[in-house]
Amino acid sequence: MLKFVKINKKNPDKTKPYIRTKTFNEIYGKYAKEKAEEQASRCSQCGIPFCQVHCPLQNNIPDWLKLTAEDRLEEAYELSSSTNNMPEVCGRICPQDRLCEGNCVIEQSGHGTVTIGSIEKYITDVAWENGWIKNIQVESEKDFSIGIIGSGPAGLAAAEQLRKKGYQITIYDRYDRPGGLLIYGIPNFKLEKKIVLRRTNRLKESGVKFELNCNIGSSISFDDLYSKHDAVLIATGVYKSREIKLNTLNAPNVVRALDFLIASNKKGLNDIVENFENGKLNSINKNVVVIGGGDTAMDCVRTAVRQGANSVKCLYRRDQKNMPGSQHEVFNAMEEGVEFNWLTLPTKYVGIEKISQTKIVKMQLGSPDEAGRRQPEIISGTEENLDTDLIIEALGFEPENLPKMFDKNELQVTKWGTLKIDFRTMMTSIEGVFAAGDIVRGASLVVWGIKDGRDAAINIDNFLVKKIENQNYSANNNEKEFVHG
């Protein structure tokens, strides 16, 4: 270890832009065994591992880096997977520049961070290749069943943890494949779908049941689902798209980011997608404008490039430094030919039956708000029009109205529409109903979803163990009364 003074940082090779934009394949290659060991050996093994401190899952990063450097990969995987249900997913899509790698001690000292995400991905990919990842072996089956609504990161993580304890698990999801945004929201060039499918297939083979194409409130009522299970976890995520409210014509060439990405991902999975085939959700030969500055916006601009757009512009009202998305993704998009219009605000969609131009105005950052973030202000006299064939609004996501959807007014929500829970137990306002992930914290990262799912599993187990103890206590008391009676 401690070889960072002799060995420079080296990421896996990245496919050249002119090649990678022709396909939806992942853009990063895989470390050779020697390179993975070499890069892992750069870890300083510092006394306070800030990489671990800034990881939502508190992954024991220095230890599995050391095991990797020593060619003890099976042990490295066991340690990595002890705190993370999907290390190969996090290794691919986590914004390491804002989390572990951004807080690496040797990065702060100017030597370049340890490539934690790429090594995490390498360890788990090798584990799959060597058959080290087995189906869940349940030591003792329990009669208690748990219904999980949503098969995204939080739902899948909770399902795995609870299945390990022997609970009977059924996951309900609105889509035709499990995985939530992992399967339909994130493009292949960041996360190939086979990575997600092998995780969900492992859960199926381990006894977890999936009820797909199932909308709670229409396919099955919430009350019916609640009556079928001893506990319920709501892990729906947040799917309601924020709107900029400029599409007063209700023009068909203004689309939501999630609709655009789902269509592209379904096409990649060889599904027939009508709105892709008819051009509504397809950017080929079009001048595309994407509004937003988060990771979803980056997914959209890079997807549009691969679909063969004529031009792709990203509009964001602040500067690059203040973008909420990963800077790695911004840089990748720039390499691929995306034009970024920083400090730019769309003010009007211009057209008759379809939008043909987007009216924009330039911005400047003014005084800080209460949170200390400088507010964008319009610079008068800077208006201009952009030729536009397709507008993709990627402005973030909000919670759907679950009490209304589920016909369950007792389900209390916060002023933001997220589910209100007791943060000690993660239980909602309904006894035995828990909630985790974005539906509680708002739109966030996959790694936080996994963290919340694992925490929810602990709380659900505690709840059911108490339930069992109370039942046994009541049964014993009844028996005593009968005997003495």
Per residue in 406-447, pLDDT (tens digit) is 999 999 999 999 999 999 999 999 999 999 999 999 999 999
**Tens-digit pLDDT profile for the chain (485 aa)?**
778 888 899 999 999 999 999 999 999 998 989 999 999 999 999 989 999 999 999 999 999 999 999 999 999 999 999 999 999 999 999 999 989 999 999 988 888 999 999 999 999 999 999 999 999 999 999 999 999 999 999 999 999 999 999 999 999 999 999 999 999 999 999 999 999 999 999 999 999 999 999 999 999 999 999 999 999 999 999 999 998 999 998 999 999 999 999 999 999 999 999 999 999 999 999 999 999 999 999 999 999 999 999 999 999 999 999 888 888 899 999 999 999 999 999 999 999 989 999 999 999 999 888 878 888 999 999 999 999 999 999 999 999 999 999 999 999 999 999 999 999 999 999 999 999 999 999 999 999 999 999 999 999 999 999 987 777 656 566 555 545 55
Per residue in 75-122, pLDDT (tens digit) is 999 999 999 999 999 999 999 998 999 999 998 888 899 999 999 999
Contact predicate 20/27, CB 8 Å = yes
Identify the three-state secondary structure at position 37. helix
- Best CA proximity match to 261, nearest among 245, 244, 273: 273
Average pLDDT of the chain to the nearest whole number: 94
Paired strand residues for 350 = 357
Identify the three-state secondary structure at position 165. coil
Place of tokens 């163990």: 465
Contact predicate 153/439, CB 8 Å = no
Q: What tokens does 7 get?
A: 């060995």
Tell me the domains of the chain and their CATH numbers.
Answer: 3-129 (1.10.1060.10), 145-238+399-460 (3.50.50.60), 254-397 (3.50.50.60)
- Best CA proximity match to 85, nearest among 448, 426, 454: 454
DSSP 189-239: TTS-HHHHHHHHHHHHHTT-EEE-S--BTTTB-HHHHHHH-SEEEE-----
pTM, rounded to two decimals: 0.93
Instruction: Please provide residue 73's backbone torsions phi and psi, each rounded to the nearest 5 degrees.
Output: -70, -35
Instruction: Please provide residue 174's backbone torsions phi and psi, each rounded to the nearest 5 degrees.
Output: -75, -25
Contact predicate 26/55, CB 8 Å = no
Q: Compute the half-sphere exposure of residue 411: CA atoms within 13 Å on the CB side of its CA.
A: 24
Distance CA 64, CA 78 (A): 9
223-229: Cβ within 8 A, 24+ apart = 223/407, 223/408, 225/147, 225/149, 225/172, 226/147, 226/430, 226/432, 226/433, 228/145, 228/147, 228/170, 229/145, 229/146, 229/147, 229/170
Q: Strands of 227-354 (E only): list them.
A: 231-234, 240-241, 254-256, 287-291, 311-315, 339-341, 344-351
Distance CA 116, CA 11 (A): 10
Task: Measure Cα distances from 389 to 7, 151, 251, 360 in Å.
Answer: 49, 35, 11, 15
Distance from CA of residue 322 to its chain's centroid? 21
Task: Measure Cα distances from 83 to 179, 248, 455 in Å.
Answer: 20, 48, 11
Element at 398 (helix H, strand E): strand 397-398
Q: What tokens does 150 get?
A: 């949503």
The amino acid present at 447, given as its one-letter code, is V
435: CB partners within 8 A, 6+ apart: 233, 234, 235, 419, 421, 426, 428, 456
Q: What tokens does 147 get?
A: 């219904």
**Per-residue pLDDT at 374:** 87
Identify the three-state secondary structure at position 254. strand
Task: Measure Cα distances from 18 to 112, 261, 337 in Å.
Answer: 27, 22, 9
Distance CA 265, CA 279 (A): 15
Contact predicate 224/442, CB 8 Å = no
- Best CA proximity match to 394, nearest among 272, 288, 466: 288
Q: What tokens does 262 get?
A: 């789902």
